[in-house]
Chains A and B, each alone.
Chain A
Amino acid sequence: MEVNPLSVILVKADSKGDRLLFRYPYQIQQNDSVLKTKEQKKNPYSVSTTDDVLQNTPPPSSNINNGELCGFTDEVLSTLFAVKPELTSQKFELKVNDVRFVSHPTQMQPKDESNGSILINVVFALHAQASYSIVKCYYELSKKLGYALRMEEERVAYLTEEMGIMVKTHDEVANLIEQKKSVLNDCEFVMILERSSLAQTLKSIYHDLCTTGLINISINQHVTLSFCFPQKAHQFHRKGTIVEPEAIDKCLKSLKPYHGMLLLVDFADLLDCVPPTGARILLQLVENYNPLKSLQNIASEANISIDMVYQIVGHLVYWAKATIIYPLCETNVYVIAPDASLHIHSHLVDKFSTSFPGMSLFEVISDFSLPTSIGHLTTPLQQPARQGILAQMVLWMLQHHLLMQIHTYVQFMPFSEEAVDGETEEILVSEEDDVNENDSTLSISIPVPHPSQRSYIEERLSNGDSTVSDNINVQPSSSHKSNYSMTNSGSLLSVDEEDDNKSQVSIEDEEIIKGLLSAFPSSDRAAVKKIPAAGNVEDLTLMVKLYQAGYFKGEHHLEEIMYFENLRRSQLLQLLDKFRDILIIYETEDPAVIL
């Protein structure tokens, strides 16, 4: 796992020189045994290559053994990381073969002013392949540790004291070795770990990084340090997928007030991700938490500003404590997520049966092979309890990323029948123009030479459209028009003339409609006008409003339009149905809830 650190190393440099104070993990005995076995394996009959070009036998090109750092002596590490003063207080990165070292060397004045400044460097050794975002997280962590140590040094000379303990232990062991007393390998680190609280802190940081990716420690029981590696933390819920911080940022940027939150952990496990000062507001939010509520509702009920709620939710998502959903309701449509880890050997199968006795995950989830809503799966005749259990199961499956919600998106796209009518030249010409003009929605304009003539036709069209649409074979409850008649455009005019006298639209309305239609590009106007509902001021007003707000570019799903325009679902669906000839509807997932 390339997220895990290979080693954490603490190096100091002061007036008494540089020294590696502590490193963890410290067992490197295996390294020697590896070298020995290598030598043993050598074929005794092989010719020794004395005239090697490189003269020196090349050292192993890997410095990783069993996920631990190897091949560096403490002295080498010490000289490498006791950096020159020019390199302090900035990112330091060194790559040796397949190991990358990253740190933020920190310089500080000891509390006891008599000594010169101290340089302290908390270095993390990583796999060289670790992605940039991982390296950056380690750098930030090293920086925070450096600041914390400086604070504690200025306050109570904590670092000087801990350094003293470590140096003394090193010297003790060195003396023992000098006196030829038998000592265990690396026993100085064992002793340091017993004596120094800073060493214990580094050890627990290492273990947290390898297990959860969440760090919540206090240095010298005074400075609290919380840190999260999202690449690791999210593995707890989604094994095998590395969630990059950029993906989380992207998801949080598209957060809207109508979104909801789904906690992934128990309440008790929430508090370790916030500093004590933030705990109160988190509790306030969690007390009002419910996956059925939107963030806006939570905000108003908890009496917190929505921006604050965004911040807290963003924090919880980053720390893998929560995920973003659309508030659970009967009309939400779910399908099985494409990356769901659904197989018979998955641990989720047993976990599900434990949470819902007597239920089989596969039987329940196979209902979602086709887009399905909770309302769909339950009938009013059933006991309400059954619906409750179903909702619980859906939440469980959302928490484990087995389901994803499907949303409906709308794209404004009028059809101009001329395209079908075989005006090949016209199409090819306008094609070229379009690329230049950057106008993608419509490539074919109606070939009308004079503007005056055009408005005349438009006026006439507006009256006769109801009959026209009867001519077109529109399939009910669908925006797809497969049997579009080729002869429509030809017959338009004659139909219009017939209808001319039946005009019941007042002149006033006509003016309003004309004004409204000007919202659409001239090339699309005729197509819009042909829709029967375009003759209704009320319908057209709403249509133009939504069109101008940019809702029909496939970037806003129905729920979002409903929320921002304060519409009921039935209202919106009716409108979309009325204008189905110029709109294309499709279903896909919401990018904000992908995490």
Chain B
Amino acid sequence: MNKTQYFEGCGKEGLIRCIFLSEFHPTDGSKISCQVPENYVSDKIFGAVNVYIIPKKQLLTCTLTVNALGVKIVGYPVRIKNEKYKRNAFHFNLCFVCDSWARSVQYEPVVKKLSEYLIMMEEESGFLSKEGENRQRLVQMFDKILKDLNESKVSTLVEGENSIYLKIVNHRPDPPLVKDYMVPLLTFEYKDIPLESWDLTTQQILPYINGTNHIARISAEADVDINLVKQCIQNLAYYKVLCLLPILKYSNVYMCTQNLKNLIKDTELSLACRTFVKLNPDKPIPPIQRVFLFYASMTHGISLRSICQRLNPQNNNIDERKLVIFGMQHNFIRCIHKYPVFIGNEPEGRQKMYTGLCNFDEICCKTGLSPFGIEKDIDKDTNVTVIWR
């Protein structure tokens, strides 16, 4: 295994290396009674961590993860009380084992669900506590789960009349807050999914997501309640199906970021960019020099309009709107927003919005005024100053 790629804290999700069932034997104590693949967790390692696998009763039905000696063991210790057992209770813990560098939080609900399934089976037929042919069945089960989950992240088990569905749901960082004035844009790989395979709300709003319409407009045009639209968009943003951009206006000001140099360094990216920003599909794709020059011209104080006037992008078959979208999506450029700030004593009416936290887009969206109207309003007001950042 490549050591430089996988280190603790790399944030990568690793495969399930092993599944085992541990139980508290009335005479032998804690032990592993079934393990797939065999001996992945050696007796020595198990001996060192068994306190955390079969723990004291206060830690029962807790998701317990122990990371030591190079293995990360995720378990959910449980106990079934019943007088039929030798010590009036049956303790067991179903555990998934990963590499110590891997994230494992996504396995926790699966481990819990599977444990609860095993409890049910045990209560119905003594599936776990009866020695004998059931062990072989358990090995087959673990084998299937291990293979299915690692390959496709889903697994279905059928045991007699019971069936159980397991699915690994990956944990992602929290999605951004969705505001009225934001513009959603579908990411490339989700563009061609047939409409009917989305959920109902998404189906209704998806035709209006084009990288130009903002949330409030999508809500109006699709005739869907705005809060519903926001929830739906936030959900899609969580799964990285779409990204959120500021409204594209020709009065917008952008600046380059350090990532712009990647457009030259990365040939694939550069070709993707040139293909994306093409204005007329029948004409050849624009030369990289022109595309780069357009991005490089973006800086404080220069609006998109004035760059277009100077560079005539359509002469080079460049669609400046697509160029901006591509640049924002790949962080070549950043939008510089305009924030009015009220510096007088008692704000009145619209001045209350000029806190320095709301940018022009937001104020326009809230008031329904055009940026030009707000601009005129602010110019007259000596108590308002404007900050670009």
Seen from chain A, the residues whose Cβ lies within 8 Å of a Cβ on chain B are 53-56, 58-59, 61, 71-73, 75-76, 79-80, 83-84, 86-87, 90-97, 128, 132-133, 135-136, 335-338, 340, 342-346, 360, 362-363, 365-366, 369-371, 406, 409, 411, 413-415, 419-420, 424, 427-428, 431, 434-435, 438-441, 443-444, 480, 482, 553-555, 584-589, 591
Q: Which residues of A contact B119 (CB under 8 A)?
A: 53-54
- C-alpha spacing A53/B121, complex, angstroms: 11
Asked if B267 is at the interface of the complex by the 8 Å CB criterion, the answer is yes
Q: Which residues of A contact B68 (CB under 8 A)?
A: 87, 90-93
Q: Is the CB of B265 within 8 A of A56?
A: no
- C-alpha spacing A90/B8, complex, angstroms: 14
Cβ proximity bits B276-305 to A, threshold 8 Å, 1 near / 0 not: 000000011101110011011111110000
- C-alpha spacing A480/B302, complex, angstroms: 14
Q: Is the CB of B267 within 8 A of A586?
A: no
Nearest Cβ on chain B to A187's Cβ, whole angstroms: 23
Chain B residue with Cβ nearest A90: B68
Q: Is the CB of A553 within 8 A of B69?
A: no
- C-alpha spacing A240/B260, complex, angstroms: 28
Once A97-B63, A413-B289, A415-B289 are accepted as A-B contacts, the answer to whether A54 and B261 lie under 8 Å apart by CB is no
Q: Which residues of A contact B172 (CB under 8 A)?
A: none
Residue picked from B68, B271, B334, most chain A C-beta under 10 Å: B68
Q: Is the CB of B299 within 8 A of A371?
A: yes
Q: Which residues of B contact A76 (CB under 8 A)?
A: 56, 58-59
Q: Which residues of A contact B369 (CB under 8 A)?
A: none
Nearest Cβ on chain A to B43's Cβ, whole angstroms: 12
Q: Is the CB of B64 within 8 A of A95?
A: yes
Q: Is the CB of B267 within 8 A of A434?
A: yes
Once A96-B63, A554-B260 are accepted as A-B contacts, the answer to whether A335 and B58 lie under 8 Å apart by CB is no
Q: Is the CB of A343 within 8 A of B385?
A: no
Q: Is the CB of B387 within 8 A of A480?
A: no
Cβ proximity bits B39-75 to A, threshold 8 Å, 1 near / 0 not: 0000010011101100110111111111111000000
Once A56-B60, A87-B69 are accepted as A-B contacts, the answer to whether A94 and B296 lie under 8 Å apart by CB is no
Q: Which residues of B contact A86 (CB under 8 A)?
A: 44, 47-48, 69
Chain B residue with Cβ nearest A483: B312
- The residue from B255, B264, B284 contacting A428, defined by CB atoms under 8 A apart: B284
Q: Is the CB of B284 within 8 A of A424?
A: yes
Looking at the complex, which of B141-149, B196-204, B214-222, B339-347 is the stretch in contact with chain A? B339-347
Q: Which residues of A contact B264 (CB under 8 A)?
A: 411, 413, 440-441, 553-554
Q: Is the CB of A586 within 8 A of B256?
A: yes
- C-alpha spacing A555/B48, complex, angstroms: 51
Nearest Cβ on chain B to A438's Cβ, whole angstroms: 6
Asked if B355 is at the interface of the complex by the 8 Å CB criterion, the answer is yes
Residue picked from B55, B65, B105, B287, most chain A C-beta under 10 Å: B287
Once A336-B387, A586-B296, A588-B257 are accepted as A-B contacts, the answer to whether A440 and B341 lie under 8 Å apart by CB is no
Question: Among residues 344 to 383 in chain B, which have CB atoms less than 8 Å away from a CB atom of chain A?
Answer: 355-357
Once A90-B68, A435-B267 are accepted as A-B contacts, the answer to whether A371 and B48 lie under 8 Å apart by CB is no
- C-alpha spacing A369/B359, complex, angstroms: 14
Residue picked from A56, A90, A91, most chain B C-beta under 10 Å: A56
- The residue from A95, A480, A591 contacting B258, defined by CB atoms under 8 A apart: A591
Chain B residue with Cβ nearest A72: B58
- The residue from A409, A435, A439 contacting B268, defined by CB atoms under 8 A apart: A435
Once A59-B61, A342-B389 are accepted as A-B contacts, the answer to whether A480 and B256 lie under 8 Å apart by CB is no
